[in-house]
Amino acid sequence: MDQAKKQLRKPWVISVISVCIILGAWIICSVTNVASMKTVPPIQTVFKSLIDISTEGYKGSTLWGHLGASFYRLFSAFFLAIVTAIPLGLASGQSRRIRAALEPIVEFVRPLPPLAYYTVLVLWLGIENESKIMLLYLACFTPIYVACVSAVSKIPSAYLDTARNLGAGRRQLFFRVILPYTAPDIFTGVRTAMGHGYSTLVAAEMVAAASGIGWMVLDASNWLRSDVVFAGIIVMGATGIMIDRILLLLEKKMVPWKGRL
């Protein structure tokens, strides 16, 4: 009995129980016909569709082809956001002038829904991948930028003053004090950005797309293929969790001092 209680205290056990409860409720709804098969397809139908689109494909591409197209757009935008938002965010955190120049633009774009300016991006960049990558880039940029600015502002002035008194130059101050202190918050911003980017992926694939996991879900919904819709959502959720876990592992490897400063 005590052993069972100890097991229940473990977080992964609670997570497994939560998933089992959801699957159980799904099976009950399917068996008892509480919901229509078009709105809540049986679990076996969804997994059959998942196998079918993995092997035979959906409208010209397999599941892996759709995932590849989506990941190309997502990771291209994510990489561009990292290499631009981190330097600009750290610079804005250290300079009021740079922050004054960039903050009005960031604060204007940040609350806008992606579909509000996607039409403008299509007009400027066309209907190919460029407009889709730019939409995802804007979704990823702002969380990283805001996290960097906030992280720099939280550095205790005593750390900076002590480093200067010990003779640290601007380069040493940045790499020995600012970057190590802000790294945990930067990783938090990066993880948040990936979540924003992935959630914007469906919007990015709404216009003139013929591939991508988001496009597949949208197209299937137009044809009332709820089994494919559910399969696509499961794949998006599973891959999203996998990407987040990879980022967490990278954070543990690259920022082992998190929580100790």
Please, which residues have CB within 8 angstroms of residue 228's CB and are 6 or more apart in sequence?
49, 53, 58, 216, 217, 220
In the DSSP assignment, the letter for residue 168 is -
Q: What is the pLDDT of residue 5?
A: 53
Q: What is the pLDDT of residue 183?
A: 92
Q: What is the pLDDT of residue 42?
A: 86
Q: What is the pLDDT of residue 1?
A: 47
DSSP state string for 35-81: S-TTTS--HHHHHHHHHHHHHT-BTTB-HHHHHHHHHHHHHHHHHHH
10-residue mean pLDDT series, the chain (261 residues): 54 79 80 73 89 89 91 95 95 91 91 84 88 93 95 88 82 87 93 91 79 89 88 91 92 82 57
Which CATH topology does 42-254 take? MetI-like fold (1.10.3720)
* Domain chopping of the chain, boundaries: 1-34, 42-254
DSSP state string for 142-208: HHHHHHHHHHHHTS-HHHHHHHHHTT--HHHHIIIIIHHHHHHHHHHHHHHHHHHHHHHHHHHTSSS
The burial class, CB within 10 Å (0-12 / 13-18 / 19+), for 31 is exposed
Locate tokens 């960097």: which residue? Answer: 148
State CA 107 to chain mean position distance: 20
Q: What is the pTM of this model?
A: 0.86
